[in-house]
Structure 1
């Protein structure tokens, strides 16, 4: 039996006690959270969700958008080392200060420390019992079994704080590993170390690496709670004792420091300030954010900050599983992007130079844009529009420094990862929702246009580096032929259809800026997706340089980074024209054809062909793959047919079976908040199919009631007759206006506040 039908038939209706979550709106005062509803929200967050299978999340201590993610590294090799942690592991190599959340490629893992005891070894490794692990927002703790040490982590935005309690008060050591790296088998390596032993309780330096980020450096200041007895330095395994004043510059050796701590029964603490600018910047960050040694106060302040974030949306539901999934999703949706700016406003730009910004604005990195433009950024325009705008302006700052908008900016580096140039989608959505100023529009349009064409100047500039991947031949072929030829470049169909959407976004930016000639050019390019539509197979099919479709053609075939589709196949990529659904329907032959194609997608065999198929194709219902982002809007396309109820049933299946409050509870890579943002919006009952078009379409809400805090007022969602069995929408009203016929409402409707009322039933609406 097909998985869709299996899941629908085997769905178990559970009867849980009614859990009503209400949250007080907390202020940004220094008062810490005690008990009550805010603590209740925090209790629903489980940072271990997504740390198993291929979710690639981490459980360590962090704050919203913080530069520091202080977390254990249990996994160094392979795909599942992307975040440095995997739920199946039983050893800890170190606790490092920076991590990526849910990505498919690893980097960071900077500045690694490990408390240890017992006999010296060059690289001590801790064993641990998972039953001793504790992770909550802003806090992580574990018992290191073989060393008899309890390690606890907390953090501010730019400072990590370690508290280690040693069972043997006379045998206390600390490893500083400056050769530590994640995924060394994937080309990530240490390029050098600057190190200075300032005194017997302070170490400063800069750590240089090369990997996904071509030129990455992170400076640090390490402050010890009390002076060390002695320090041994291991350079390429050779031991020497060092004294205050010792320094090295750009030492490329594998450096490890063993710090011998004074005896004592009290817990020993270490704080590490970091900066992308300089050791002096790290010192400023440490002094400003953590001038004291009160571990519990830092932890409680993190709880207060996370409580404020979680309380932006309050929900009521009968299902505790929904509560855990929902608030963990809100937590994961606020980890990235990271604020890359020091407390004084200094930051390292895409040109690798130091710039001065406004500390209130921040400057951000780690944008997983190919993933997050779809739901994360639209979500933030609702619950935190000021932050959404800061992200957009940060991308524009990247353009001003590097002359092109980034696709996946990482640590002041262009990575060029993933197709198209979806920064323009983020900008267009901000404009569509009235968040950009008139002064922004011409610069934003300029940035978008210059980022949509082949740049010979940048191809020369980035030659021989990882950043060259930002500059591809795909835009060149698009301008020359109007399509991307499959016999010239891989992933041609994905590039072609996604660039068409991005060009539509550029047209909207130009339209808002009053640049009509540019609007006309890019509105024409927005229709280039049509070139890939094959009326015979009713799929988006690769086109060869001679203008003919690829033959033979297997729509189930996938070869990672080698076939005609990015991390997918023809089935998963044949429903992508979100900006032109009216034209897309006309192209394919109308609503009935779309419904038939959707039915085929969700009910055909889940077999994927190809020995090198992409590992990202997960969460299959037929050929729909919820574990990867190109499928995320597809179930909502049933709202463009005569059978919206089919999409509602499918959304119920995805929400209930592909999200679980367990380590393996995320069906694919979390991707810096996109998987979570999809869940948040879908559980609330609506989704934005086309970012840049300020319109939402209704799906299948899981919550009984939700209240969203807006800048002025609230937006309430009331779901009547909701239950696991009642998965079908019977009617919908927005502020009293019936929208049952369209199942759509505008961002203006939401922004004005008021109420969305949805009535559910166990039978499809006729």
Structure 2
């Protein structure tokens, strides 16, 4: 389609926030703008604890509840603590992990998770939230039941604990291999004291990851007097220390590996040989500050916006998690690809291009082992969670952008073989040209995600000069058109005989049990970023398409159905920001030549659907995706197309943002931006007026200056 230049529109009127000068922010400790508890309330599900960027260890508190809002082990509404676990998820809608949980105790206890209505039912204690300290790389909280202060920090593969016990003769640490995350349960555990300071073992479990293996070695800063096994199947190990007449601190280091105890020991030796807790915490903070400095904000900005931005950037770099041992070839896990292919992985291709190549190569290694690219990979297990072929889209993006170390021929083979898989609706799509809704649940969503992946293959093949493959997959990427009903203006269920499913209600949703996935016809009608020409054709022209897109935001937010998906949240009309399928939808305005409308809606989302409070994320944070949308959109652009390598303009939030790129920087300037003045009138790249409403990936990575003129 023809892409028009940026349109000029009148500025909206929104109350301006208090601003302050932040010209010297680059020289400050950026971690002070990070509040890890943003997103820990409502349905955000973020990890709260100590970690380093992309670390294997995410060491933090785990609570008693195992309900949906505790999939990360922590919720702002609940201060119970059963221990401090070394693995956690962040932002996900399903729970697992919480491996190798440690609880410091005083006196005799019941070796069980416990119940909140019975203080003696388990190990658990309330944490004193009024004295809780949470910052990047460090976590601390007093345990009210025991009078113990717990402090945590971490390296990539090692967690270090410092427990300050009261005076007495019954101080101990309990290693809990029974309790995992939500649906997880142990299949094999072992704890063996190898000296009076060291315990080694493993925890194998089944849950979301059907065959998860974690090996560990735990070392203490002073000898322990006893080690005894307790509880169900001896899955609790009590490590008792000598009496003390005064309060004293005991430290504990726990190193992890997915391969062996010997590898865990090697990880401990490589990363944390000494016992300087404060230096380790300072090193973790520095690692975070170095990564946060990948994007430096200048000019005037409110403290609230800076907290939102740098916390979002922080959340964008917790996952994927390292999965290799120290010194081994890089590998990653917790690949929430249906979420992250849209914004988090594209963001990382800018600020972490080398790591992004490593992540892509991890996916290719998974292809070699399981015969198809990953869907949702978790600690060595394919969970097949969610729909479509998101691994294809992520790898295609790596190919188009020529990420370092990625073998493009190997990648193209992996993509085409995966796209040819007949499982998960593939055979139906091949036979009918679409997936009939009477033969498979969520048929529209499955097919439309497959079509997005096909579009990504077409883009990758075209970038490699393979026109035959590009044409084949471009044609396949149009399969979604079979669902478009011009009489209603929506995609809707189509039966095997090509008749429409009746009755039809675009507001209807049934969680994981209708023709869509975590959505309805309003949202899924726009899930064709690879085929915007097709959208225009289906709606009967650009103006009709824009009018239909307007109606998405103007419609009543009422949802019908007896089992409305809880993932449908953060609504503006029927636009849903709290879930991923619509994250590109606002930027369709820019692609359709209505950039002013995109600016208005982007700014509305930035200002109203994100905040610097525990409830500040509208929906599951989803392993960095919700946060990465905020980061990219704050810069003024977003990659709306799968593997398109074009970042379409929206509305910048800051007067200046300096993005570190290899060999230099890419600076985005928006002089005078404010709540009233945020719509883009024109843009210059390195002084030259742009006649297109986007910049390319290569232009960003080459460095330079993008300057917006705002109205």
Write the mapping of 1:360-509 to structure 2, written as runs, cut at 5 A.
362-435=330-403, 440-455=407-422, 471-472=423-424, 474-509=425-460
Q: CA deviation at 1:665?
A: 0.7
The answer to whether residue 252 in structure 2 is matched with residue 277 in structure 1 is: no
Does 1:624 find its partner at 2:575?
Answer: yes
1:350 aligned partner:
none
Unaligned runs of 5+ in 2: 1-10, 112-121
Q: What pairs with 1:159-558 in structure 2 (closer than 5 Å)?
A: 159-184=158-183, 188-236=184-232, 253=233, 255-264=235-244, 265-316=247-298, 317-345=300-328, 358=329, 362-435=330-403, 440-455=407-422, 471-472=423-424, 474-558=425-509
Deviation of residue 589 (structure 1)?
A: 1.2
Q: Work out whether residues 218 and 275 of structure 1, in 8 Å CA contact, stay in contact via their aligned partners in 2.
A: yes
Query: Alpha-carbon deviations, 1:46-98, whole Å to 9, x = none?
Result: 11111111110121000111110000002431101210110111211110000
1:657 match = 608
1:643 shift after superposition: 3.4
Q: Which residue number in structure 2 is paired with residue 467 of structure 1?
A: none
Q: In structure 1, what is the equivalent of residue 6 of structure 2?
A: none
Equivalent-residue separation in structure 2 for 1:551 and 1:586 (angstroms):
24
CA contact (8 A) 1:75 1:85 kept: no
| Cα displacement (A) at 1:627 | 0.4
Aligned partners of 1:76, 1:403: CA distance in 2, in Å? Answer: 37
2-structure distance, mates of 1:733, 1:408: 40
- In the TM superposition, 1:74-153 aligns within 5 A as 74-122=63-111, 123-153=122-152
Measured in 1, the distance between the counterparts of 2:525 and 2:32 equals: 41
Higher relative contact order at CA 8 Å, sep ≥6: structure 1 or structure 2? 2
1:595 Cα deviation from its structure 2 partner: 1.3
Q: What is the number of residues matched between the two proteins?
A: 688
Contact 2:457 2:473 in 1 (8 A): yes
Q: How has the CA–CA distance of structure 1 residues 751 and 99 changed in structure 2, closer, same or farther, with 3 Å as cutoff?
A: same
**Counterparts of 2:310 and 2:339, CA distance in 1:** 20
Shift in Å, 1:748: 2.3
Distance apart, 1:414 and its partner CA: 0.6
Deviation string 1:450-480 (CA, Å, 9 cap, x unpaired) is 111335xxxxxxxxxxxxxxx42x1111111
| Aligned Cα root-mean-square deviation (Å) | 1.7
Distance across 2 between alignment mates of 1:9 and 1:552: 40
Worse overlay, 578-587 or 563-572:
578-587
1:389 partner SS: helix
CA contact (8 A) 1:76 1:181 kept: no
Partners of 1:321 and 1:560 lie apart in 2 by: 35
SS at match of 1:308: helix
Q: Which residue of 2 is the match for residue 745 of structure 1?
A: 695
CA distance in 1: counterparts of 2:461 and 2:476, whole angstroms: 13
Shift in Å at residue 442 of structure 1?
2.0
What is the alpha-carbon distance in structure 2 between the residues aligned to residue 613 and residue 371 of structure 1? 20
**116-125 vs 312-321, greater mean Cα deviation:** 116-125
Summarize the Cα distance change of 1:610–1:207 in structure 2 as closer, same or farther, 3 Å threshold: same
Counterpart of 2:242 in 1: which secondary structure? coil
Instruction: Check the 8 A contact 1:698/1:744 in 2, yes or no.
Output: yes
- TM-aligned CA deviation for residue 118 of structure 1: 3.4
Q: Distance in 1 between matches of 2:688 and 2:64?
A: 53
The DSSP-based 3-state class of the residue aligned with 1:69 is coil
CA distance in 1, matches of 2:555, 2:137: 44
Displacement of 1:287: 1.3
2:595 aligns with one of 639, 644, 647:
644
Q: Quote how far apart the aligned CAs of 1:200 are.
A: 2.4
Secondary structure at the aligned position of 2:142 is classed as: strand
Alignment-derived partner of residue 32 in structure 1: none
Distance 2:307 2:265 in 1: 38
C-alpha distance in 2, partners of 1:746/1:235?
A: 58
Aligned to 1:562: 513
Q: 1:15 to 1:512 in 2, by over 3 A?
A: closer
Match of 1:246 in 2: none
Matches of 2:464 and 2:679 in 1, distance apart? 42
Secondary structure at 1:451's aligned position in 2? Answer: helix
Shift of 1:255: 1.2
TM-score by length of 2: 0.94
User: 1:365 and 1:688 mapped to 2: Cα distance?
Assistant: 24
* 1:496, distance to aligned residue in structure 2 (A): 1.1
Matched, 1:53 2:42: yes
Partner Cα separation in structure 1 for residue 455 and residue 582 of structure 2: 20
CA drift at 1:344:
3.7
Which whole-Å deviations, capped at 9, do the CAs of 1:528-571 have from their partners, x for residues lacking one? 11111111111111111111121111111111111111110000
